[in-house]
């Protein structure tokens, strides 16, 4: 390769100076013309800059596209049912009468019960991992929990259907029904025949599914607490519990709440873990043992079989509602986690 004079002068000794014009494999004729070579590099730089910027903007467009296209798809149902869609319990494909109440109720109730189970347990696991676990076990258990957070939800669903629901039907639900028979409020919550599948079973499987998620996020959040603070607490004689309660939790409160909301967002939108075991009944039932449905389960079960514009449109409106609910929950979660990052940085 012919190298022009100025470059050769720099190449004395063992140190080799990389010439970026050369690294571009630009022909010698162009190297002589340095301004043009630089111009070309600047052009490449500008193109790359715009390319990455466009890609970033496309991500925004995707989100906008999701909202707009769902709204367009839902428009016939919105026009037909109006606000009554949110309060109606009807779900009748034959005469095209639909209401979102049972699905929304099921989505919210299953998610709340799941969080009631998963949040305390998840925080317990996180406490265990950061404070109590013997050191050699800390990494393996932490890794195991993170791996479990990645298992596809259909696995939880199939296990729920074939293993958990039959077990619950025979061993747990009869005991619940008998145990709470005389108690005023609870007897209504645990009433009816033991189907095995139903709202409570679905909630429990949802809880197991989001548990690794909550545990690993809370552990990460707990680990942002400066060791000095914890040592100070131990130094003045706090027990482990008092340190968690009065130092770690207050310090990481925003992050824990953010993590919990993130998990709630997952639970609200979860499809496969729930669809198998919820029972797909379009009614609001006071009993937690009764079959119900959720927004995602309704869409998963009925969308491909939906005939007629209104039916499809009603399902898309359900999807829009789900998206807006999870969007708000997730936005709040991210905002809180961002605030934590800013304070800990």
Partner 1 sequence: MSLYETRRKNNAIATGLAWLATAFGLFWLALILGALVYEGARGLSPAVFSQMTPPPGSQGGLSNAIAGSLLMSAIGVAIGTPLGMLAGTYLAEYGRHTKLAMIVRFINDILLSAPSIVIGLFVYEILVHPMGHFSAISGAVALSLLVVPVVLRTTEDMLLLVPGSMREAAAALGAPRALVIGKIAYRAAKAGLITGILLAVARVSGETAPLLFTALNNQFWSANLNAPMASLPVVIFQFALSPYKDWQQLAWTGALLITVAVLSLSIVARTLGAGRRKSR
Per CB under 8 A, contacts with partner 1 among 204-233 are: 208, 211-212, 215
Beta-carbon-side half-sphere exposure of residue 290 (alpha carbons within 13 Å): 16
Query: Which of 29, 30, 44, 112 touches partner 1 by CB under 8 A?
Result: 44
User: Could you say whether residue 181 binds partner 1 (CB under 8 A)?
Assistant: no
Q: Does 122 bind partner 1 (CB under 8 A)?
A: yes
Distance, CA of 210 to CA of 260 (rounded, Å): 10
Is 73 a binding residue for partner 1 by CB under 8 A? The answer is: yes
Q: Which two tokens stand for residue 182?
A: 């005389």
Shorter beta-carbon distance to partner 1: residue 227 or 304: 304
Angle, helices 309-344 vs 249-269, to 10°: value is: 160
Q: Does residue 257 touch partner 1 according to CB under 8 A?
A: no
- Residue 26 CA: distances (Å) to CA of 2, 4, 5, 33, 122: 12, 13, 16, 11, 58
CB of 94 to partner 1, least distance (A): 22
Distance CA 307, CA 162 (A): 31
Nearer to partner 1, 132 or 175 (CB): 132
The nearest distance, CB 46 to partner 1, in angstroms, is 8
Q: Is 20 in the site for partner 1 (CB under 8 A)?
A: yes
For residue 276, state whether it binds partner 1 (rule: CB under 8 A): yes
- Strands (DSSP E) contained in the chain are 91-92, 97-98
For partner 1, the closer of residues 101 and 277 by Cβ is 277
Residues 6+ apart with CB under 8 A from 261: 329, 330, 332, 333, 336
Cβ neighbours around 205 below 10 Å, total: 25
Residue 104 binds partner 1, judged by CB under 8 A: no
Within positions 294 to 333, which residues make up the interface with partner 1, using CB under 8 A? 296, 299-300, 303-304, 315-316, 319, 322-323, 326-327, 330-331
Q: Which of 168, 225, 244, 281 binds partner 1 (CB under 8 A)?
A: 244
Sole binder of partner 1 in the list 104, 199, 202, 272 (CB under 8 A): 272
What is the C-alpha to C-alpha distance for residues 115 and 261, in angstroms, rounded to an integer? 9
First and final C-alpha spacing in the chain:
50
Residue 291 as a binder of partner 1 (CB under 8 A): the answer is: no
CA–CA dist 83, 264 (Å, integer): 26
Return left, alpha or beta for 301; rule: phi > 0 is left, psi -120 to 50 is alpha, else beta: alpha
Tokens representing residue 322 in the block: 């789900």
Least distance in angstroms from the C-beta of 184 to partner 1 = 29
Which among 29-37, 65-73, 87-95, 170-178 is the span making contact with partner 1, rule CB under 8 A? Answer: 65-73
Q: Is 37 in the site for partner 1 (CB under 8 A)?
A: no
Q: Which is nearer to partner 1, 70 or 287 (CB)?
A: 70
């Amino acid at each position: 390769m012919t190298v022009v004079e100025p470059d050769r002068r720099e190449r004395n000794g063992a140190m080799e100076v990389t010439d970026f014009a050369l690294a571009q494999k630009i022909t010698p004729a162009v190297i002589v013309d340095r301004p043009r070579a630089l111009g070309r590099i600047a052009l490449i730089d500008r193109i790359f800059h715009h390319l990455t910027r466009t890609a970033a903007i496309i991500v925004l467009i995707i989100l906008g596209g999701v909202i707009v296209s769902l709204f367009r798809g839902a428009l016939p149902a919105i026009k037909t049912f109006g606000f009554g869609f949110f309060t109606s319990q009807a779900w009748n494909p034959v005469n095209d009468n639909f209401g979102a109440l049972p699905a929304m109720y099921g989505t919210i109730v299953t998610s709340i019960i799941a969080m009631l189970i998963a949040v305390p347990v998840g925080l317990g696991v996180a406490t265990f991992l950061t404070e109590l676990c013997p050191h050699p076990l800390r990494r393996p258990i932490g890794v195991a929990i993170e791996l479990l957070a990645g298992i596809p939800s259909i696995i939880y669903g199939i296990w729920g259907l074939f293993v958990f629901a039959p077990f619950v039907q025979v061993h747990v639900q009869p005991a619940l029904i008998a145990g709470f028979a005389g108690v005023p409020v609870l007897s209504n919550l645990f009433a009816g025949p033991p189907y095995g599948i139903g709202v409570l079973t679905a909630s429990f499987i949802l809880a197991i599914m989001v548990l690794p998620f909550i545990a690993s996020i809370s552990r990460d959040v707990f680990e942002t607490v400066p060791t000095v603070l914890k040592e100070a607490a131990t130094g003045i004689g706090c027990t482990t519990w008092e340190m968690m309660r009065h130092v770690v939790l207050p310090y990481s409160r925003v992050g824990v709440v953010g993590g919990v909301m993130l998990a709630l967002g997952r639970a609200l939108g979860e499809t496969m873990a729930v669809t198998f075991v919820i029972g797909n009944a379009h009614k609001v039932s006071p009993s937690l043992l009764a079959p119900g449905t959720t927004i995602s389960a309704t869409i998963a079960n009925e969308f491909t079989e939906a005939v007629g514009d209104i039916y499809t449109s009603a399902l898309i409106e359900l999807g829009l509602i789900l998206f807006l609910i999870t969007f708000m929950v997730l936005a709040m979660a991210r905002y809180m986690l961002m605030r934590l990052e800013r304070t800990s940085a």
